[in-house]
Structure 1
Amino acid sequence: MLVRHDWVTLYANGIRYLEKAPLLYWSIAASFKLFGVHTASARLPLALTVLALALAMESFGRRAFGSARAGLYSALILLSSFGIFIFTRITIPDVAVCLWLTLGMLCYWLTEQQEHPSPLLCWGFAACCALDVLTKGLIGIVFPMLIVLAHLLLTRGVRRSITRIRQLFPLSSIILFLAIAVPWHVLIALANPTQGHPGNLSFSHGHWTVPGPTDGNVHGWLWFYFVNEQVLRYLNLRVPRDYDTVPLALFWGLLLIWLMPWSAYVFKAIASVPWMKSLRRQTLDASQSTLLLLGIWAALPMLFFSFSTRQEYYVLPTLPALTLLIAAWLAKEADETESFSVPNRLAIAGQRISVVLLILGSIAALAAGFFILHSQPPSPNTDLATMLRQNPGDYALSFGHFLDLDTRAMGAFRTPLIITAIALFGGTLLNWLLRLKYKPHAANLWLAAGAFGFLLAAHLGLQIFSPILTSYNLAEAIAPQLKPDDMIVINGEYESGSTLGFYLQRNNIHILNGRSSNLWYGSFFPDAPPIFEDNNSIRLKWTGVRRVFLWQSLDDPLPSLPTKAYFIAQSGGKEIVSNQASTY
C-alpha cells in the first residue's frame, strides 16, 4: 500500500491479493507509515486490538453482572487464555473479529436495558457490524445478526420481536452500515473487473473449475471474493483446493485448550444459561436474558463452522462469550462464598474444580519435569530442525509443526519447561489451597498469575522455535551480498518463504513450481509480474549472468540444475543456495 499508494487493491509480492478484507492490512500499513517497516510496527495493530478487546470485556462484564469482579475476571481470563495468546502470534484478523463482535453485542445488550433504545447504541451496533465485514467478510454481519435474532425470538417470540426491531432504528442503522461497509467493496470491484464470461466457470465431480491463464479469462473480484472465498469455502468447494480442514471432534475439543486453564469452569458456566426456560417460552429476568444472549453467542460460531471447512482459530469468536460466562460464574462464587460463614453450593463446586485443575497442573508439571531430566541442551549453533521428527499430516493445523517436537528436541526448551512446571503447578496449587480457605477471589488471581507464567514460557518457546517458522536468519545471511538486480527464488509456495520479502523489503520474488494458494488468482491478471518459474525456466536463469538465490526446504528435492549450486546459508530446515559463489 505504501509503495503503490493504493489502499483499495491489496497486493502481495507484486500480485493482486484479492481474497481478504482490508482492515487489518490498513492498520498495519498505517503503523508502517507512522513507525517505519519493522517487526514491532507490524505487530502493533494486533497488540492494540487485544488491549481494546480486554477493555471492552471488562466493561461488558462489569455492566452485565453489576460486579467489578466480573469485569476484572473477564479481562484477566481473556488476556491469560492460551487461544487469544497463540493466535495473535501470527498475523490473522480473527482477534479483531472478536473485538467488533464484542462491541456490537455490548451495544445490543445496552439497548435491551432500555425501554426505548438509544439511536446511538443502534448505530454503534451497525458500525461494529460494518467494521467486522471490513475485517473478515460476510461473517461480520452474519454472526451478530443471527445472535440478535435468536435472542429476540427466544425472549419475545415472533410478534414482539418484530415490534422490537422496529424500535431499533433499522433504516438509519442500515444506511450507516452501508455507508461504512460498501465504499471499499465498490471501489475494489471497479478496480478488478470481470475479464471473460463467468459462464466459463464449470462444476464437475464435486469441484469448480476456473479458466487458467491460457484461456485468457479471469473472473472478477465480486465472484472471487464473495462466491469463491466465502460461499464456496464454506461449502468446501473453493478453488484452488489448496487447503485442509480440522476434524470436527478436534475443532470442538481444542476449545478447552484455547480457554486453558479457565476451561475447567466452562461447563458450570454453560449450565448457568437458562436454555430450557427460554425454549419453554417462560419469562426471563434481566440476568437470565443476559446469560441467554451469551449462551447463544458462544454456541452459534461453533455450530456455524461445524458444517463447513474450518481451521482451529475459527473458534475465536466464541471465546469472548464463554469468557464472560465463566467470569460471571467466578464472580458469583466469590461473592457468595465471602457472604456466607458456612460452605455453600458454589464454594463446594469451586473446590472440586480446583482439585481437577491441581491434578492436571501436576500432570503437566511432571511431564515438563520428565523432558527436563531426560533431555540435554543442544550444542551451540545447533539447528533445531535437525532434531525434529516430521509429521506432514499434522501441518493442516496452524501450529502443526510443534507436533514435531520429541524428547531430543525438547532439550532446546529447558528454560520454558522449567517456567511451565512452576507456573502450572504453583498456580493450581495456590488456587486449591485458597479455595479450601474460602478465599476464591485470591485463588482466581493466583490462577491467573500461573496462566500468565505459562504464557511467558510459551513466548520464550516461540522465540526458540521461530527459525522453523520464519526465514529471518536466511534473510540476514544474504542481505550483505544481495544486489538490486539479483534474483530471489522460492522453491514451492510463496507463503513458505514469504518473510524473505518482509525482512529484505523486496517485491517480485520469483516462485518455482508454486503457482497456487494466495497468489493463484491474482497471477491471472495482465499486470501480474512474470515471477513464476518452472524447471525449464530456472535452468536457463541458473546459467545466466544474473545471480540467483534459491530458497528451499530441506524436505523438498532440489530441482535438477545444469551447474553447481553454491551453499549460502541454512536455518530452521531451510537453506539458500546460489548459482554463484559468495565473494566475501
Structure 2
Amino acid sequence: MISSAIPAERASSTRNRLILIGLWIIFYAGFTLFTPPLLDDADSVHAEVAREMILRHDWVTLYANGIRYLEKAPVLYWSMAASFKLFGVSTAAARLPLALSVLALLLTLEAFARRAFQSTRAGLYAGLVLLSSFGIFIFTRILIPDLAVCLWLTLAMLCFWKTEQQEQPSRWLCYGFAACCALNVLTKGLIGIVFPVVIVLAYLLLTRNVPRGTFLRLRQLHPLSSLAVFFAIAAPWHILIGLANPTQGHPGGVAFVHGHWSVPLPTDGNVHGWFWFYFVNEQVLRYLNLRVPRDYDTVPLLLFWGLLLIWLMPWSAFIFNDIAAIRRDRTRLLLGLWAAIPMLFFSFSTRQEYYVLPAIPALVLLLAAWLDEDAKEPGIAGRRIAVVLFAFGTIASAMALFFAYSGTKPSANMDLASMLQQNPGDYALSFGHFLDLNREAMGAFRVPLLLTAIALFGSSLAHLLLRRRGKAHAANLALAAGAFGFLLAAHLGLQTFSPVLTSRQLAAAIAPQLKAQDLIVIHGEYEAASTLGFYLRRNDLHILEGRSSNLWYGSFFPDAPKIFETKESLAARWPGPQRIFLWQDLSNDPGPLPVLPGPVYLIFKSGGKEILSNRMGQ
C-alpha cells in the first residue's frame, strides 16, 4: 500500500507544479513582461541603473543618469544587467529577473508546504495563494527588490526549518541559511540579516529552555563557520564600493542640536562617502525618519496593517483562522513569528505599502495548511467565510458596475490625465497617482471594471454554493479562478492608466527627431520623467529645479556631471544653436516654467505631460 502511494503522490506533486508553472507563465512571464511600458520613478530608474552598469562596465558602484546612485544594494541591478547582456536592453528583459524570482519563490513555497504539512494539496494551495494574491502581483509590476527579499527569507527559513527536524543540524543547511542571509543583505540591506536572525532567536527562545536550551541549540547550528560563509558572500561588494566612494572633505555626522537630531547637509566637495550614506543615512536614519533628503512619505500604521488584508485578498478572509492555529505545533509557531516580526519592525519606522511583503510567504504557508485541512474535513468556519466573501464580492461587483457605467467613456483621442483630479501630496506613495481617479475618469476603465465585477461575483457565488455542498476543494479552486480574473483586470487597468505614469509615449514621439548633440531637460526631479533616459538610451539628461531625491547625494561628488540647470542657465541656452527638448508636467509641479527668450514649440503632449522645444524638427 505504501509503495503504491508514493508514486501516486509524486505524480500528483509533479502535476500540481506543472499547473502552477503554467499559471506563472500566463500571469508573470507572458504578456505582463511586455506591457505596460516601464513607469517613471523607481521602475525606470532601476532599469536605467542596470543599463548604465553594463554601459560603464562597473558592477560595483551604481549610477543613474551618470551620477552615483549609492542608496541601494546591488543584486536587483546585477540580475537586470545580466538579463540585458543576454537578451538586449528592453522592457521585457528588465522585468524577467523579477518574474524568475516569483517562479523560484513559487517552487520554494510549494515544496515547503508539501513537506511541512505532508500534503501535496497543501503545496498546490501555497502556489495558488501566492500567484493569485493581489499584493504579489501588483508589486512585481514595479522593479523593486522586495520580492527577492521574500525569496531569500523563505529559503533561509526553509533551511532553518529543516534543521529543526534534525537532532544534529546539517552543516550544509546552516551554510545555506547564512548564504541566503548574505544574498538578502546584498538585495535590500541590513533587514536581510535582521529578519531571519530575530525570527530564529524568537523561535528558539519560545521552544527551548531559556536561556540554556537556546544557547545549546545555537552552538549546534555551526555559528562560526556559518558566519564565515555569510561574510564571504556579503563582504566583498561592501568593501569594494566603500573604497570606490570614499569620504570627500570633512565627514560631518549626526548631531543632537536644540533638543532634536540634526543631519548636516553636504556641499560641493564635502560628502560623507558611501559607508555613511548607505549604512547610517539609508539604514539607521531612514528607520528613524531622519533620512536626508526626505523625499518619501510614510503609510499610517493602521492602514499599513490593513493593507496586508488587501494584498492577500481574497485569501485574507481565512487569516484569522490561521492565527488561531499558530499554537498547535512548532511549524505554525515559526510561521507566525515570521509573519509578525517584519510587520512589528516596520510599525516603529517609516513605511511604504510594499513593506508588508516579507510577511506574506509565511501567511501563504499558514493559509495553505488551513485550506488543506479544511478541504479534508470541511467545517462550519469555511461556510461562514464563504458567506462573508459572497457579501463582499456582491458589494464590490455592484460598485464596479456602478463606476463602469456612471463614468464618461472617453473618446479615442481623449487624454486620461485631463479627466483626473491631481493630488501631488500623495505621489510619494507607491500608487499615489491612483488616488487621482474620480467618477468621470472611471469610464476609461469600463472593461477592467466589468471583468472585476464578473470575477468577484461569479467566484464568490460559486465558492459559496460549493461550500454548502461540502466540496471545499472545488470551492477553493473557484475562489482562485476569480482571483486570477481580478489580476487580469488589474493588469488591464494598469495598462489603461500607464500613460499617466510613464513618459514612454513622449520618448517615442521625439526619438525620430533626436540627435546625439541635442539636449533633453526635465523640469522637476529626474524620477518624474526617468523613462526618457531608459527608452532614449540617454544618461545625460539635464534637470531644471530638481536637484533632489535619488540624484541628490551623488551630485555632490566632485566628478558628478554638471547636469543641473537654473532658470538663468536654461534661458541662456534657449536661443543658442543647440536644440533643446524640455519635458514638463502640466500639473505645474514643481512650478511654472521660467520665461524663455525666443520661440517655444509644442512637440508632443500626452498623459498630463508635454515636450517643448526651442526649434521645430527638420
Q: Same fold (TM over 0.5)?
A: yes
- 1:278 counterpart residue number: none
Distance in 2 separating the partners of 1:488 and 1:370 = 43
Per the alignment, residue 116 of structure 1 pairs with: 168
The range that moved more, 388-397 or 186-195, is: 388-397
Deviations 1:115-150 (CA, angstroms, capped at 9, x unpaired): 111111111100000000000000000000000000
Deviation track 1:307-335 (CA, whole Å, cap 9, x = no partner) reads: 00111110100111111111111111111
Q: Which residue of 2 aligns with 1:94?
A: 146
Which residue identity lines up with residue 318 of structure 2 in the other structure? Answer: Y
Within the alignment, does 1:164 sit opposite 2:217 as a pair? Answer: yes
Q: Quick check: 1:188 aligned with 2:229?
A: no
Distance 1:203 1:494, change over 3 A: farther
Name the counterpart of 2:367: 326
Match of 1:450 among 479, 482, 503: 482
SS of structure 1 residue aligned to 2:334: helix
User: 1:51-450 maps to which residues of 2 (within 5 A)?
Assistant: 51-156=103-208, 157-199=210-252, 202-204=255-257, 206-214=260-268, 216-274=269-327, 288-337=329-378, 347-450=379-482
Amino acid paired to 1:71: G
Give the C-alpha shift of residue 68 in structure 1: 1.0
The one-letter code of the counterpart of 2:349 is S
Counting aligned pairs with the same residue, the percent is 71
Q: How far does the alpha carbon of each residue in 1:458-517 deviate from its partner, in whole angstroms, 9 at most, with x for none?
A: 001111111111100000000000010000000011001000001001011001111111
Q: Following TM superposition, by how much is the alpha carbon of 1:389 offset from its aligned partner in structure 2, in angstroms?
A: 1.1
Q: Does 1:523 align with 2:555?
A: yes
* Residue 212 of structure 1, CA deviation: 3.3
- Once residues 257 and 67 of structure 2 are traced to their aligned partners in structure 1, the CA distance between those partners, rounded to angstroms, is 29
Please give the alpha-carbon distance, in whole angstroms, between the structure 2 residues aligned to 1:307 and 1:521: 26
CA distance in 1, matches of 2:261, 2:492: 43
The answer on 1:463 being equivalent to 2:516 is no
Distance 2:370 2:184 in 1: 29
8 Å Cα contact 1:119/1:169 also seen in 2:
yes
Which of 39, 50, 58 lines up with 2:91 in the alignment? 39
Question: What's 2:607 paired with?
Answer: 572
- Contact 2:295 2:428 (8 Å CA) reproduced: no
- TM-score by length of structure 2 reads 0.89
Question: Given residue 466 of structure 2, which amino acid in structure 1 is its aligned partner?
Answer: L
Which residue identity lines up with residue 303 of structure 1 in the other structure?
L
Code of the aligned partner of 1:547: R
Other structure's SS at 2:540 match: coil
**Structure 1 residue 562 and structure 2 residue 597: aligned?**
yes
User: What's the TM-score once normalised by structure 1's chain length?
Assistant: 0.95
8 Å CA contact 2:405, 2:446 repeated in 1: no
Q: CA deviation at 1:559?
A: 2.2
| Alpha-carbon distance, 1:213 to partner | 2.9
Deviations 1:285-314 (A, max 9, x none): xx6100100000110011000100111110
Q: Is the 8 A contact 1:208 1:239 kept in 2?
A: no
Partner letter of residue 28 of structure 1? M
Deviation at 1:560, TM superposition (A): 2.1
The 1:20–1:380 alpha-carbon spacing in structure 2 relative to 1, beyond 3 Å, is same
Aligned pair count reads 561
Does the 8 A contact of 1:50 with 1:95 survive in 2? yes
> Conserved in 2, the CA contact under 8 Å of 1:246 and 1:396?
no
Distance 1:212 1:163 in 2: 48
1:9 has 2:69 as partner:
no
CA-CA distance at 1:382 after TM superposition: 1.1
Query: Is residue 532 of structure 1 aligned with residue 573 of structure 2?
Result: no
Choose which of 80, 94, 98 in structure 2 pairs with 1:28: 80
Question: How many Å separate the matches in 1 of 2:132 and 2:367?
Answer: 13
- 1:263 CA displacement: 0.6
1 or 2 for the larger relative contact order (CA 8 Å, sep ≥6)? Answer: 2
Q: How far, CA to CA, are the matches of 1:466 and 1:191 in structure 2? A: 38
Q: 1:371 to 1:199 in 2, by over 3 A?
A: closer
Q: What's the C-alpha RMSD, in Å, of the aligned pairs?
A: 1.1
CA–CA distance in structure 1, aligned partners of residues 252 and 489 of structure 2: 54
Give unpaired runs (5+ residues) of structure 2.
Answer: 1-52
